[in-house]
Chain A
Amino acid sequence: MTQLLLFNVTNGLIIGAFYVLMALGLSLILNLSNVINFAHGGFLVIGGYIAYSVTPYVGFWGALLVAPPLTALIGFVVERILIRPLYGRDPLYGLLLTFGLAFMIEDGTRFIWGAQGKPVSVPAVLAHPLSAQFFFLTGYRLFMVAAALAVVALLFALLRYTKLGVRIRAGTLDLETVSALGVNVQALRSLNFAAGVFLAGLSGVLAAGQLGLEPTMGTGLLMPSFVAIIVGGVGSLTGTLIGGLLIGVASGLTAVFLPAASEAVIYVLMALILLLRPRGLFGEEGMMT
């Protein structure tokens, strides 16, 4: 039993790492642009399908390099054309827009690539478990965790040590002052949105290796990511990180005792957090207006 629990905690951390990758992208966009990006799952799917389409020419590793920037480019264009006119309005406008966009992306991918799922194989070198006993530790899953960790470290370093990062952080605190200081806020928002979508695209390529690639795959992954943000505390990237890992482990542990509740448990966890600490684990006092 102890072994089973230990397995599931480790396994939960692996799943959580994936949620983190997705949730961080959401969090970035939410913090600076005040947009609850419901189309994030859609961008994930676009990333996966772009990877599927370019793999025959550039292989898996090539796709991993090409698909996220291309998805980010689409995100950049979407921000310019659709999101930008909504800045300064009630956040519900952005929410409704991205909600509709999510449906359009799902149907769009279905139109282009078909409703039928597409087969995606992972590179042979990663396709095996490390040992028969720890079969759930496959090369690919560890690679996913490593990729997630690397990106998180990079993102934190970027926000902390680069001029762009400092501006993004300053912008989330007081966009008007940042603008008054001569920073091009429009460009800052576009870049930030594209960076968030880049993370969605990367999540999509990684997910396609493990899940069936089909137009609805983003929906199932989007809600846990939102929950990760709410549990961790809106506005805190560290909170998102911890929130993602926490719900992964909670889901994994519940699967041992009550499998049918393994999805519901993350919402129970969210409800508990909201009752006991309404601003989330790492959310800051006074942030919620």
Chain B
Amino acid sequence: MALLGETGRLDRRTMLKGAAALGGVALASPAIISARGETPVKIGMVDPLTGAYAANAQNEVTGAKLAVSQLNAKGGILGRPIELLVEDSANDVGTGVQKARKLTERDEVSFLIGDVNSAVAQAIAQVSNEKKILHIVSGGHTDTITGKDCKWNVYRVCNTTTMEANSICSTLFEKYGKKWYFITPDYAYGHTLQAAAEADLKKLGGTTSGAELTPLGTTDFSAFLIKARAANPDVILVLVQGSDMVNCLKQITQFGLNTQVHVAGLQQELEALEGMPPEARIGVWMFEWYWKQPGVSGVDQFVADIRKVNNGKVPTARHWFGYTSVQTIVGVANQQKTLDSLKLAKALGNFELPPEVRLQPNKCYYREGDHQLMTSAFIGEAQAEGKDDPEDLFRVDKVIAGDKDAPPVDETGCKLQWPA
């Protein structure tokens, strides 16, 4: 029964053309922060300001901008102002590469930062390597970036997926049991995170009950959860991130699955916890950085500074990633008194972050062999409501130093090839 009849000039082909057009991407102009009138030193930043990781990306950019304004007030980079050029990768590899090329070729940036998405980060590392410029991966976690695909010019601030797994798997095993079921995002990050967790689980004597590879941007997790429940695991580990994490945990708690099996995960972020209702904030997780660290030097000041530029809200790990990425580049350039990427990349091996940048109790340094920052893992439990502050949604139980949970360099698969 067709209630409505002929549609006139509109046909199916037009509909299909329209559907194809949805794949198109808008190019936005870069947001520019400039300092004084002298020739500035340009730093390019590529991050997914739109798409599933938009909140994380915007926070990285806010952190980076704070670092730029603070450093410019202190004399900039080698006495020249720093200019940050931000481009949106739209959570898409092709767009990310295009933007990285635009920044390096047209804007002639001296350094590159980005991306939140592992796959995009990996792809733009190819571009920065080809252009021979120092590149700091701020927030893409997949192992291979500082593993088998490591590059002389690429350093990374956030944890590797193996570091994340190593920091928390024994805690999860002791607390929840030995049969694990994974809800994993189907791209580079998810694949390596699950592999690392399974390797740890095997060492601990546990078994994988099953794993669901879910497409990035999945809105409805019910079909996966039905399968997960049928496998009868001790714990369901949620590895998806961003809005996928919010959707998944929200649906888990509405289904009451958390009353039947344990639910936890590996990496958790404040952005996701804030986006879900209180009842969905459950389980043990690892945070890569947390804003409440009583007695740790500089943290309160950083929190106060971010609040000023972030509508009064506290910094997340992402703010710290962006902040640290800029601080790393400028710090090492001012120390070495050069903008030469090769010299700076050499100097960053074993470069230690000063207390006002590291903002955590443990020593924090880039490892020479794989260019990975040895940064801490904050292990604890999600809290439904903040006690003193509505944004205090995580209780930190222990902080593990990065070099305690990172595998030795020879196990990462990284073999750095330096230019002649």
A residues sitting closer than 8 Å to B (CB atoms) are 3-4, 7-8, 11-12, 14-15, 27, 30-32, 34, 36, 38, 90-92, 95-96, 99, 103, 106-107, 110, 114-122, 127-129, 132, 135-136, 138, 140-141, 156, 159-160, 168-169, 172-175, 210-217, 219-223, 226, 229-230, 233-239, 251-252, 255-256, 259-260, 262-264, 274, 278-280, 282-284, 286-289
Contacts and interface: CB of A to CB of B under 8 A. Distances in A.
Interface string B10-44: 11111111110110101000000000000000000
B50 interface: yes
A90 B9 contact: yes
A153 B65 CA distance: 53
Given A172-B5, A216-B243, 16 more contacts: A11-B223, A27-B4, A38-B18, A90-B9, A114-B55, A115-B57, A116-B275, A117-B55, A223-B19, A229-B15, A235-B7, A236-B1, A256-B223, A259-B224, A262-B218, A262-B223
A27 B250 CA distance: 30
Interface stretch (B77-85, B161-169, B226-234, B339-347): B226-234
19 contacts: A34-B7, A36-B15, A92-B14, A95-B17, A136-B222, A136-B225, A160-B3, A175-B8, A211-B219, A211-B243, A214-B246, A234-B7, A234-B12, A237-B3, A259-B214, A260-B215, A262-B223, A283-B12, A287-B7
Interface in B224-255: 224-227, 229-230, 243, 246-247, 250-251, 254-255
Given A91-B14, A95-B18, A129 B256 contact: yes
Contacts, number: 237
Interface in B136-181: none
Given A117-B55, A223-B19, A238 B3 contact: yes
B224 A255 contact: yes
B6 A235 contact: yes
A138 B219 contact: no
Interface residues of B, number: 67
B278 interface: yes
A169 B4 contact: yes
A121 B22 contact: no
Contacts of A263: 215, 217-218
Nearest to B24: A99
Given A91-B9, A119-B274, A260 B220 contact: no
Interface of B: 1-19, 21-22, 24, 26, 49-52, 54-55, 57-58, 186, 212-215, 217-220, 222-227, 229-230, 243, 246-247, 250-251, 254-257, 260, 271-272, 274-279, 311
A245 B6 CA distance: 23
* Residue among B186, B254, B260 facing the most chain A CB atoms (10 A cut-off): B254
B48 to A, nearest CB: 10
A119 B276 contact: yes
Contacts of A159: 3-4
Contacts of B255: 129, 135-136, 138
B55 to A, nearest CB: 4
Contacts of B251: 210
B263 to A, nearest CB: 13
Contact of B243 (A160, A214, A287): A214
Contacts of A136: 222, 225-226, 255
B256 A30 contact: no
A159 B256 CA distance: 40
A263 B215 CA distance: 7
Given A132-B260, A212-B247, A230-B15, A239 B2 contact: yes
Given A4-B226, A11-B223, A214-B55, A91 B10 contact: yes
B2 A216 contact: no
Nearest to B259: A132
A214 B245 CA distance: 13
Contacts of B278: 119, 121
Contacts of B26: 103
Nearest to B215: A263
A115 B47 CA distance: 14
A6 B278 CA distance: 32
A136 B254 CA distance: 8
A210 B7 contact: no
A169 B3 CA distance: 7
